[in-house]
Amino acid sequence: MGSYVDSVTSSSSPASLVNSSPLTAPELSDDGFEIHRLPSPLGDRPSDSAEFILVIGGLGYIGSHTVLELLREGHNVLIIDNLSNSYESVMHNIQILTASHCKQKGVPVPLLHFHRLDYRSRSMRLLLESYSNLVMTINAAGQQTMTYRSRIVGVIHFAAHKSVVESITTPLQYYQNNVCGLVSLLQTLDQYGIYNFIFSSSATVYGAKANQGLPLREEDLVHHPESYIDKSGHSVVLQPSVTGLSSPYARTKYFAEAILADVAAANPAWRIVALRYFNPVGCDPSGLLGESPRGEATNLYPVLTQVLMGARPRLNVFGSDWATRDGTAIRDFIHVLDVARGHISALAWNDRAKRHDNSFRAFNLGSGNGATVLEAVQSLEAVAGREIPLSWTGRRPGDVGSCVASTERARTELGWSPRENLVQCAADLWNFVRKAGLDSTGKV
């Protein structure tokens, strides 16, 4: 039976990655990034045949829930995270939840490895090497050559900076992490023959299309000409075009998708899925995992959590004059566990790649149902049993009145559809606030 271990051992791995002290004295790689790892609780070592899903940014909000779902589905997982916006305690909670799940189901506990590492570090190559076997192959000219066969069978890339507001003041930091980092990562993966790639994109890539007030379809943003059968059965050729990308953050996601589409077009060995998340909210019902950013919270639900905790006096509502049922903006809230399951469907889609010829494909992950900001607030007030103070302010530049996903492509091609609703999101979030002892009002 497997267990939770950190994989890098002195015998199988580069010395620069070995660090026996748990998160106290990080080593510095030659390019200045910290290298750190959790200790192996049971001292196990991975076998040379175990296959892994690499999850980059796997201790963050969406990443941690996805890692949990992967483990619950029996996948071995290798997490890389530099903890710039997360905490190592998340790893411990993932371990607890997985162990409990596996005990209940009577199934073996998959392997879970963690490396505290910046994914832009040159040490990534050394790490990937330690998850590869050198095998002899015969090339087209009939000669024997040695090539890497990686035990990493899929990569899910969450690591990025994600604050729209911050991206406006520090755009280079955003382009460096979200775009330049991605390019280097793809080169490194290519070197190790790892071509199964899932990318965290965002509904923000639709730019001004969101202003049309219609559900956003993946066809509304393509990176290469694509043909599409419309509702009346006519074939339409879609051309790449986007306007109204409202922030450097939005542009990083757009550029990243465009790069991925180009890479896939150039080499069909790649199987790349871009998942365009709408508004992920909620958390695992256990209350052990949630959204606890190190930086300032800017998304609606983390801010609501802080208001409930007493850490903020009130919620700023941006705009009460949108053309919606109560005047507040409409968003497509989607439970983070549904988003997590979407990644497992995307990995399965890539595994079926031979049966379709899309080396790059984008999918929306949204509920398809819009809720207003006020409805979201009310759902949380109902479970918390208390009023959330509001402050009414004007519209924020770059905001749109309504942003809702079309879920048809994800449903028909990925076989994915959401299971949870807004009430469940609110109940799970409130449970997280209570379990984490975050409520500073003393009422719980």
Nearest to 241 by CA among 256, 219, 216: 219
Single-letter amino acid, residue 413: E
Least distance (Å) from ligand NAD to the CB of residue 250?
Answer: 10
| CB nearer ligand NAD, residue 102 or residue 424 | 424
| CB nearer ligand NAD, residue 180 or residue 348 | 180
Least distance (Å) from ligand NAD to the CB of residue 86?
Answer: 3
Distance CA(297)–CA(293), nearest Å, equals 7
Which chain residues interact with ligand NAD by CB under 6 A?
57, 59-63, 80-86, 118-120, 158-160, 162, 177, 181, 200, 202, 277, 279-280, 293, 299
Least distance (Å) from ligand NAD to the CB of residue 65?
Answer: 8
Distance CA(261)–CA(360), nearest Å, equals 6
| CB nearer ligand NAD, residue 82 or residue 345 | 82
At which residue do the structure tokens 């930086």 appear?
295
DSSP bridge partners of 216 = 405
Helix, strand, coil proportions of the chain in percent (round to 5)?
35, 20, 45
| CB nearer ligand NAD, residue 78 or residue 102 | 78
* Sign of the torsion angle spanned by Cα atoms 213, 214, 215, 216: negative
Single-letter amino acid, residue 128: L
For residue 287, the Cα-to-chain-centroid distance in whole angstroms is: 19
Least distance (Å) from ligand NAD to the CB of residue 182?
Answer: 10
Nearest to 283 by CA among 83, 156, 97, 126: 97
Distance CA(99)–CA(167), nearest Å, equals 38
| CB nearer ligand NAD, residue 102 or residue 372 | 372
Which residues are annotated as catalytic? 249
Nearest to 8 by CA among 124, 175, 97: 124
CB 124 within 8 A of CB 117: yes
Distances from the Cα of 216 to the Cαs of 207, 332, 365, in angstroms? Answer: 10, 11, 11
- What is the CB neighbour count within 10 angstroms for residue 125? 15
Least distance (Å) from ligand NAD to the CB of residue 322?
Answer: 20
Residue number of the CB closest to ligand NAD reads 60
| CB nearer ligand NAD, residue 57 or residue 342 | 57
Least distance (Å) from ligand NAD to the CB of residue 145?
Answer: 32
What are the backbone dihedrals phi and psi of residue 59, each rounded to the nearest 5 degrees, phi first? -105, 0
Token pair for 186 = 């793809």
* Sign of the torsion angle spanned by Cα atoms 54, 59, 60, 64: positive
| CB nearer ligand NAD, residue 178 or residue 431 | 178
Least distance (Å) from ligand NAD to the CB of residue 381?
Answer: 21
Least distance (Å) from ligand NAD to the CB of residue 232?
Answer: 32
| CB nearer ligand NAD, residue 60 or residue 215 | 60
At which residue do the structure tokens 């959330």 appear?
388
Q: At what angle do helices 61-72 and 336-351 cross, to 10 degrees?
A: 60
Residues 6+ apart with CB under 8 A from 147: 134, 135, 137, 193
Report the half-sphere exposure of 394 (CA within 13 A, side-chain side). 2
